[in-house]
Amino acid sequence: MTPLYDIGIRLYGTAIALASIGHTKARKIIKGRRQTERYLRSHVASKRGPWVWIHAASLGEFEQGRPLIERIKAEQPETKILLTFFSPSGYEVRRDYRLADAVCYLPLDTRAHAARFLDTVKPSKAIFVKYEFWGNFLGELHRRGIPTYIISAIFRPTQIFFRRYGSAMRNILNCFTRLYVQDEASRKLLAGIGIDNVSVAGDTRFDRVTSIMRSAVDLPLIDRFNSNADITLIAGSSWPADEDILIDWLARHKEVKAIFAPHEFDRARLHALEARLSALGDTRCLSEINEAGRDPATLHYIIVDSFGLLAALYRKGTIAYIGGGLGAGIHNLNEAAAYGIPVVFGPRHEKFKEAADLIKAGGGFDFDDAAAFDTVMTRLVADKELRRRAGAAAGKYIADSIGATDRIFNDIFQPSSK
pLDDT digits (tens, 9 = 90+) for 164-182: 888 888 999 999 999 999 9
223 and 125 share a domain?
Answer: no
Phi and psi, residue 340, nearest 5°: 70, 45
CA distance 125 to 107: 18
Higher-scoring residue by pLDDT: 217, 134: 134
> Quick one: pLDDT at residue 151?
97
What are the pLDDT digits (tens) for 320-342? 999 999 998 999 999 999 999 99
Give the residue numbers spanning the domain of 159.
Answer: 3-202+403-417
CA distance 178 to 166: 20
> Quick one: pLDDT at residue 2?
78
How many Cα atoms within 13 Å fall on the side-chain side of residue 327?
16
Which of 318, 330, 316, 323 has the alpha carbon at shortest distance from 235? 323
46 and 175 share a domain?
Answer: yes
117 and 244 share a domain?
Answer: no
How many Cα atoms within 13 Å fall on the side-chain side of residue 200?
10
Q: How confident is the model at residue 373 (pLDDT cuts 50, 70, 90)?
A: very high
Phi and psi, residue 124, nearest 5°: -80, -25
Say if 181 falls within a structural domain.
yes
> Quick one: pLDDT at residue 10?
87
Where are any strands of DSSP class E within 138-230?
148-153, 178-181, 198-200
28 and 72 share a domain?
Answer: yes
The pLDDT of residue 216 is above 90: no
Say if 209 falls within a structural domain.
no
Say if 385 falls within a structural domain.
yes
What are the pLDDT digits (tens) for 148-163? 999 999 999 999 999 9
Q: Where are the alpha helices (DSSP H) in 122-183?
A: 135-143, 167-173
What are the pLDDT digits (tens) for 69-98? 999 999 999 999 999 999 888 898 899 999
How many domains is the chain partitioned into structurally? 2
How many Cα atoms within 13 Å fall on the side-chain side of residue 379?
15
194 and 343 share a domain?
Answer: no
The pLDDT of residue 418 is above 60: no
156 and 255 share a domain?
Answer: no
Say if 211 falls within a structural domain.
no
274 and 185 share a domain?
Answer: no
247 and 168 share a domain?
Answer: no
173 and 289 share a domain?
Answer: no
Phi and psi, residue 88, nearest 5°: -60, -30
| Secondary structure (DSSP) of 219-232 | -HHHHHHHTT-SEE
Q: Which whole number is the average pLDDT over 342-354?
A: 94
Query: What letters, b where the CB count within 10 A reaches 16 and e where it falls short, cover 242-256?
Result: bbebbbebbeeeeeb
Say if 282 falls within a structural domain.
yes
What are the pLDDT digits (tens) for 302-319? 999 987 788 889 999 999
Domain containing residue 323: CATH number: 3.40.50.2000
Query: 153 forms bridges with which residues in the sheet?
Result: 181
407 and 344 share a domain?
Answer: no
3-state SS assignment for residue 305: coil
Percent of the chain with pLDDT strictly greater than 70? 99
Which of 296, 246, 310 has the alpha carbon at shortest distance from 273? 246
Q: How confident is the model at residue 60 (pLDDT cuts 50, 70, 90)?
A: confident
Q: How confident is the model at residue 417 (pLDDT cuts 50, 70, 90)?
A: low
The pLDDT of residue 358 is above 60: yes
Cβ-contact 68, 54 below 8 angstroms: yes
CA distances from 296 to 77, 194, 221, 288, 358 (A): 44, 60, 6, 11, 33
Cβ-contact 314, 320 below 8 angstroms: yes
The pLDDT of residue 415 is above 80: no
408 and 392 share a domain?
Answer: no
Cβ-contact 391, 314 below 8 angstroms: no
Parallel, antiparallel or unpaired: strands 178-181 and 198-200: parallel
195 and 331 share a domain?
Answer: no
Higher-scoring residue by pLDDT: 193, 291: 193
Domain containing residue 71: CATH number: 3.40.50.11720
Say if 210 falls within a structural domain.
no
What are the pLDDT digits (tens) for 231-258? 999 999 999 999 999 999 999 999 999 9
Chain center to CA of 296: 31
Say if 212 falls within a structural domain.
no
Cβ-contact 249, 373 below 8 angstroms: yes
For residue 56, the 8-state DSSP code is: E
Q: Which residues are CB-neighbours of 262 under 8 A, at least 6 positions away?
A: 237, 238, 239, 243, 269, 270, 273, 303, 304, 323
Say if 305 falls within a structural domain.
yes
The pLDDT of residue 68 is above 70: yes
